[in-house]
Amino acid sequence: MFKVYTKRFGEIEIEEEKIIRFPHGILGFPGIKRYIVLNHLNKPDIPFKWLQAVDNPDLAFVITDPVVFRPDYTPVINQQDLKELGIINLSDRGIIAIVTIPQGNPENMTANLQGPIVVNLRTREAKQIVLTGEEYQVRSPLLNNTSNAVLPRLNSKLSITAAIPVMEK
């Protein structure tokens, strides 16, 4: 374990085996290659987590399992991307989406369903891919298919929580 300082969470201890590595970085952040998934403080059961950059204390993304909000979300992932990540079995694949939550208007939150992050759950290598076609959008509303009343009941359905160990703060 080693310690990392983050702007949002302060100093945290990180287990090396829980780091997710992005060989090419995330789109717009090609030089930042190591991230950790963190729970929200005092709210580990909500369907949102943080993807915190290990090497940049200021960089963290809100993420979610898009299937929680869009059960019909079935992106077709290019075989080359799966091969690059070493994913042979679909059970080794995790998909997460970066969420944008407008300040003061959480009901207008969106997820980038056109640019999901694909994670090899065995090796913890990841890549943000860009889907072709018009089926999914960069700013896909999350709550148009889910009422605000449903949000508290979505607590444990974030499948990446079980597959990608989450660091507790």
Report whether pLDDT(114) > 50: yes
Classify residue 136: in a domain, yes or no. Answer: yes
CATH code at 20?
Answer: 2.30.290.10
Place of tokens 């759950």: 121
Domain around 117: 2-160
Q: Are 97 and 128 in contact (CB under 8 A)?
A: no
Please state, rounded to an integer, the average pLDDT across all residues of the chain. 85
Return the percentage of the chain with pLDDT > 90, whole number. Answer: 60
**Which pLDDT band, with edges at 50, 70 and 90, does 143 fall under?**
confident
Place of tokens 């950790």: 36
Task: Please write the tens of the pLDDT for every residue from 10-54.
Answer: 999 999 999 999 999 999 999 999 999 998 777 777 889 999 999
Backbone φ/ψ region at 28: left (φ over 0), alpha (ψ -120 to 50), beta: left
Structural domain total, the chain: 1
Classify residue 168: in a domain, yes or no. Answer: no
pLDDT score for 9: 87
Classify residue 166: in a domain, yes or no. Answer: no
Strand duo 2-6 + 49-53: pairing: unpaired
Q: Rounded distance, CA 140 to CA 112, Å? A: 6
The pTM is what? 0.84
Q: Rounded distance, CA 113 to CA 132, Å? A: 11
Q: Are 42 and 169 in contact (CB under 8 A)?
A: no
pLDDT score for 105: 86
**Which pLDDT band, with edges at 50, 70 and 90, does 73 fall under?**
very high
Classify residue 129: in a domain, yes or no. Answer: yes
Kind and range of the H or E element at 111? strand 110-111
The pair of structure tokens assigned to 21 is 């590595």
